[in-house]
Amino acid sequence: MSFLRSRFVQAVVVLIVCFVLFRFGIQPPAPWSVITLYMAIILIAILAFVSSDADSWRSFLTPLRDTVVKPERRLLRMVLMIVMPLLLGYYAYTQAAAKPQAPPELRAVHPAPPASIQFRGKEINIQGIDNPLRKDQSAFKQHVAAGGEIYIRNCMYCHGDNLDGQGHFAHGFSPPPANFVDPGTIAMLQEAYLFWRIAKGGPGLPKESTPWNSVMPAWEDRLTEDQIWQVIMYLYDATGQQPRRWESH
């Protein structure tokens, strides 16, 4: 097992182990874009390690140099000179060839809200407004119950009865509906933001980062202002999340 002492072999082994871990150790499988990013970082780290002192760097380079210059490695050299361009060519082909599915797309995490919106002819400030129904704490349970009913009647089919984005229709959409249980969705946002998203839906998304591919309806035509605030209260209550508060200065 003396070959394992070679820095080059060690580097290759670490690289392969990391790849196997990223590819098969993460479930559901991580997207290729992320695995590529991770492997690039691992490669940088490995190169930094093997070259961080002279002995290690020499040990790493020796098999490479031997393969390029030593006469007894002529056969290996020939094989590599044929195989490597072929592999690179195959990689280029896989990247350039047309596929039956749409290419991956960059998607913004949260679209930026406008400062204010028109809701049935009334201007509502999205910047700085709190849920007006929370002022009367005695009616909290009543509003949450009403919100729950609205959710089940209108939202559950896409966002799911567990509010996890796994509703009946969810698998027909790309991207799928938002998962409210995820700490990266409503937990990071003020209630005013949710009001804007529910009221204006997909058609009200901002121009930047288009196309959005959102099938979220604009609920302002079907729900009243209070009903939207009620369903928002239900979302936070049912998921156990807290809405983000405005910073005071």
Partner 1 sequence: MKTGGGARRSAWAFTLLVITLTLAGAFIALGVLPADAQDAAKEPAYRQFPVFGSRLAVWAIAQLHLNFAAFILGVPIFAVIIEIIGWRTGRAEYDWLSHEFVKLTFAAFSTTALLGAFLLFLLIGYYPKFWNYMTSIFFPTYWVYALLFFAETFTVYVWYYGWDWLTGSKKWIHVSLGVLSNLFGTAILFVANSWVTFMVSPGGITESGALKGSVWAAINNFTWMPINIHRLIANIVFGGTIAAAYAAFRFLAAKTDEERARYDWMGYIGNFVALSAFIVLPFAGYWLGREIYAFNQTMGITMMGGFMSWLWIIQAILIGVLFIGSNYYLWLGMERIPGSERYRKYVPYMLMILAAGFIVWATPRSMVVTLDEARAMGGTHHPVLGFLGVMSAKNTAVNLMILTTFLSYVLYRRANRISTKSWVTTGMAVQWAMFGIAAVIVTFYGVYGYFVESMVRIGFSVYQVGAVLVAIAVIMIVDVFMFRGARSTGAIRWGTIAPRSQYVLILLAVTFTWLMGLMGFARSGIRQHWHVYGVMRDTSVEAVTPALGYASNVITLVTIAFFALVMFIFWLGGLGEKGKEGAQAHGRAAPVIAGGGNGKP
Binding residues vs partner 1 (CB under 8 A): 26-34, 37-38, 41-42, 44-45, 48-49, 51-54, 57, 101-115, 126-128, 165-166, 171, 174-176, 178-179, 182-184, 187-188, 190, 193, 206, 208-209, 241-245, 247, 249
Cβ 40 vs Cβ 19: under 8 Å: no
Nearer to partner 1, 149 or 176 (CB): 176
CB of 148 to partner 1, least distance (A): 21
Nearer to partner 1, 149 or 161 (CB): 161
Nearer to partner 1, 180 or 234 (CB): 180
Cα–Cα dist 105/85, whole Å = 29
Nearer to partner 1, 149 or 237 (CB): 237
CB of 245 to partner 1, least distance (A): 5
Buried-exposed string 49-71: b where 16+ CB fall within 10 A, e elsewhere? ebeeeeeeeebbeebeeeeeeee
Coil vs helix vs strand at 137: helix
Taking every pair of Cα atoms in the chain, the longest distance, rounded to a whole number of angstroms, is: 88
Cα–Cα dist 229/155, whole Å = 14
Cβ 247 vs Cβ 154: under 8 Å: no
CB of 82 to partner 1, least distance (A): 31
Nearer to partner 1, 1 or 109 (CB): 109
CB of 75 to partner 1, least distance (A): 32
Amino acid at 128: G
CA atoms within 13 A on the CB side of 190: 16
Cα–Cα dist 229/195, whole Å = 7
CB of 228 to partner 1, least distance (A): 18
Which two three-digit tokens encode residue 112?
């930026």
DSSP state of 119: E
Nearer to partner 1, 210 or 224 (CB): 210
CB of 215 to partner 1, least distance (A): 14
